[in-house]
Amino acid sequence: MSLYGKPIQDLKGVGEKRARLFQKLGVFSVGALLRFYPRAYEDLSRPLSIREACPGEVSAVRATVLQRPAETRIRGGMTLYKCTITDGESDLFLTFFNNPYIKNLLKAGEEYIFYGKVTASFLKKEMASPEFFPAADCPAIRPVYRQTEGLSSRLIQNAVKNALLLLPSEIKDPLPEPLRTRYDLCSLRTALEEIHFPPSQGALLRARKRLVFEELFVLQLGLLKMKGRARCESSLRFTQNFTPDFYRLLPFQPTGAQQRAVGEAMMDLQSGRPMNRLVQGDVGSGKTAVAAALCYNAACNGFQSALMAPTELLARQHYQTLASMMGADIQVALLTSSTPAAEKKEILQALAQGGISLLVGTHALLSEQVAFHRLALVITDEQHRFGVEQRAALAAKGDNPHLLVMSATPIPRTLALMIYGDLDLSILDELPPGRQKIETYAITSEKRLRALGYLQKHIDRGLQGYIICPMIDNAGEDGAAGDRKSVLDYAQRLRKLMPAARIGHLHGRMKPKEKDAVMDEFAAGRLDVLVSTTVVEVGVDVPNAVIMMIENAERYGLSQLHQLRGRVGRGTEKSTCILVSDAQNQEAVTRLQTMCRTSNGFEIADEDLKLRGPGDFFGSRQHGLPELKIANMMENMEALKQAQQAAQELLRTDPGLEEKAHAGLRAEVARLFTAMNGN
């Protein structure tokens, strides 16, 4: 029985209550605890002298206790314990609160390592409640775990110690021996022991190296296994290419990049093997038309396609766009969770009989009742909103259908190839002609009225604008939620301020029907201004809207601002983005300056990476990959490359990971990808 099957409460010292706390940290089994790696380490291997310890810093100090801690009662029933320690050169004062054991734990004349934050007052150095270890018996490096109320890092450390004792003597290593030799990786036992209790920095590095490699290797195996279907035959071959016919239906000339992407995808579709392709293109590059071309081809070849969008609003908009692009001969339907029951029944029936060629929708498409007659092409839009496993769930509705993912998250090509190990890549690196740079300004709230005057001028010319607020309504009694603007309040004030303008509002608490109605009005030009939360962030396309005003702009990350700004500049009129913010902190100011300086999605993604750090950028939410415990794709690029190579090689000899020696790996792959579903 694997330790993953052993519940955490089987561990010595872990009862019902503590088990629940562990579960809060995502640790349900003994096996999972061993993979609950420290978030940091305290280095006690090189303690300082008291003189060297700097006030304000956390340090390890080696010193001898001068006298037994003295007890003082202070107000509020608190007891204080004080003593002085010395290293022969200088003294340092220790204080502990409410800890009667201290008197017996710290012995006069004995030497200890004290670890804590050093403070200074009146030329005295102090430490409050430091941790301490007898100098003769002090670990070199101590693990620090992510803790939760009631479950301290120290308690977790003890539990891990007990868990390590349970490791069987013949522990099965998921990494095959030859691989470990080749990449110079230590055994799993050594890695687990030393990642938690490293005897030295060198040992810690060695343990990390092995675990990082293992994690990336398992990730790549999972991704490549999905791609592995590419080797199998597909009965869904597109025999004819109808792309020229489709282009004739379009109201515009497709860009070179669009034609290239469609061409690459058509090669896949005609190849007799399933397509796995990512189309990456900045906001406004025209990804929808690429999808439409392929759906059109599917329909004309007698197949069905499905397109899944992350929001109801976007699904509906895609439905309208695609239906009009493909002409009346091709049946397109929309299915979301708010489709009325009767209509839904009709759609499902027609779908099963093949009467519908393209089904557009939200997650509702994944529902069990949705069955296709001959599903050949599955497209997901704004891929970072979907996980790998959702993509797989939709694909499972057909007999190994072709997959296309569309994403507006710009990632450098080399990196994309690695993290989307399972996908081929087409890049839309060209915007439709006639697009002008979106002028972007950052202003303070003092200039808000002037900005609104600028908006009014555009309304007078028949153009439209968005105003984005971070809140829906004002939580506070006095109508103010701090300095944050709210959609409802803003819309109301604006209606007074611009009585002639037609002002609508939109937010996530409205019913889908109401949202649709407002969006329709705005798209049809019957509203001049749309005051909205970020629900319009993803994909909404109204080319006549040319002003994007973002209130409390400091509250958004760069990528989000870029997506929001991408709602304008979609036609031939010059567009403007106005970022309103009174924030003064350096990071926010840098972000707004970046927005004003560039509109290049790749550059913005790079900057975002610098400002927020890779951990955040590559958190699973950004790209729909499983969450990694120890590896970081940005920092461990070299390991990622090796892992991808090794995974490719291994799958070449054992594509299904069916060999006995690979059972452990198979289990790890399954574990990584099912962990995602739980999130």
- Residue 17 beta carbon to ligand ADP: minimum distance, rounded to whole angstroms: 50
Residues at the site binding Mg ion, with contacts judged by CB under 5 A? 287, 539
- Scan residues 520-539 and list those touching ligand ADP (CB under 6 A): 539
Nearest CB to ligand ADP, comparing residues 390 and 409: 409
User: In terms of DSSP H, where are the helices of 197-308?
Assistant: 201-228, 243-249, 256-270, 287-300
- Scan residues 109-128 and list those touching ligand ADP (CB under 6 A): none
Partner whose binding site includes residue 666, from Mg ion, ligand ADP, none (CB under 5 to 8 Å by kind):
none
Residue 148 CB contacts under 8 Å (≥ 6 apart), including other chains: 21, 24, 25
d(CA 145, CA 660): 35
Q: Which stretch binds ligand ADP (CB under 6 A): 13-21, 87-95, 186-194, 250-258?
A: 250-258
Element (H, E) at 32: helix 30-34
Write b or e for each residue in 169-206: b if 16 or more Cβ atoms lie within 10 A of its Cβ, otherwise e.
eeeebbbbeebbeebebbebeebbbbbbbbeeeebbeb
- Residue 168 beta carbon to ligand ADP: minimum distance, rounded to whole angstroms: 53
C-beta neighbour count of 321 within 10 angstroms = 17
- Residue 287 beta carbon to Mg ion: minimum distance, rounded to whole angstroms: 5
Nearest CB to ligand ADP, comparing residues 154 and 574: 574
Nearest CB to Mg ion, comparing residues 238 and 319: 319
- Residue 467 beta carbon to ligand ADP: minimum distance, rounded to whole angstroms: 21
Task: Name the residue with tokens 């004080």.
Answer: 82
Q: What is the DSSP letter of 552?
A: T
- Scan residues 259-318 and list those touching ligand ADP (CB under 6 A): 281, 283-289
d(CA 408, CA 113): 53
d(CA 610, CA 563): 18
d(CA 598, CA 596): 6
- Residue 129 beta carbon to ligand ADP: minimum distance, rounded to whole angstroms: 55
Element (H, E) at 558: helix 558-565
Distances in Å between the alpha carbon of 382 and those of 101, 189, 281, 516, 615?
58, 41, 10, 20, 21
- Scan residues 395-424 and list those touching ligand ADP (CB under 6 A): 408
User: Six-digit token pair at 186?
Assistant: 């230590």
Number of residues that bind ligand ADP (CB under 6 A): 19
Nearest CB to Mg ion, comparing residues 48 and 250: 250
Nearest CB to Mg ion, comparing residues 230 and 261: 261
User: Are the C-beta atoms of 532 and 505 separated by less than 8 Å?
Assistant: yes
- Residue 540 beta carbon to ligand ADP: minimum distance, rounded to whole angstroms: 8
Element (H, E) at 191: helix 188-196
- Scan residues 341-380 and list those touching ligand ADP (CB under 6 A): none
What string marks each residue from 536 to 575 as x (binds ligand ADP by CB under 6 A) or -? ---x-x-x--------------------------x-----
Q: Dihedral (C-alpha) 4, 6, 7, 11: value to the nearest 10 degrees?
A: -120
> Which residues sit opposite 159 in a β-bridge?
none
User: Six-digit token pair at 640?
Assistant: 């990622």
Partner whose binding site includes residue 465, from ligand ADP, Mg ion, none (CB under 5 to 8 Å by kind):
none
Nearest CB to ligand ADP, comparing residues 59 and 575: 575
- Give the residue nearest to ligand ADP (CB): 286
- Residue 331 beta carbon to ligand ADP: minimum distance, rounded to whole angstroms: 22
Helix (H, G, I), strand (E, B) or coil at 601: helix
Is 432 a binding residue for ligand ADP by CB under 6 A? The answer is yes
Burial zone of 64 (CB within 10 Å; 0-12 exposed, 13-18 middle, 19+ buried): middle
Q: Which stretch binds ligand ADP (CB under 6 A): 61-69, 248-256, 614-622, 645-653?
A: 248-256
Partner whose binding site includes residue 98, from ligand ADP, Mg ion, none (CB under 5 to 8 Å by kind):
none
- Residue 333 beta carbon to Mg ion: minimum distance, rounded to whole angstroms: 20
Helix (H, G, I), strand (E, B) or coil at 67: coil
Partner whose binding site includes residue 214, from Mg ion, ligand ADP, none (CB under 5 to 8 Å by kind):
none
> Which residues sit opposite 148 in a β-bridge?
151
- Residue 539 beta carbon to Mg ion: minimum distance, rounded to whole angstroms: 4
- Residue 118 beta carbon to ligand ADP: minimum distance, rounded to whole angstroms: 54
Residues near ligand ADP (CB under 6 A): 252-255, 258, 281, 283-289, 408, 432, 539, 541, 543, 570
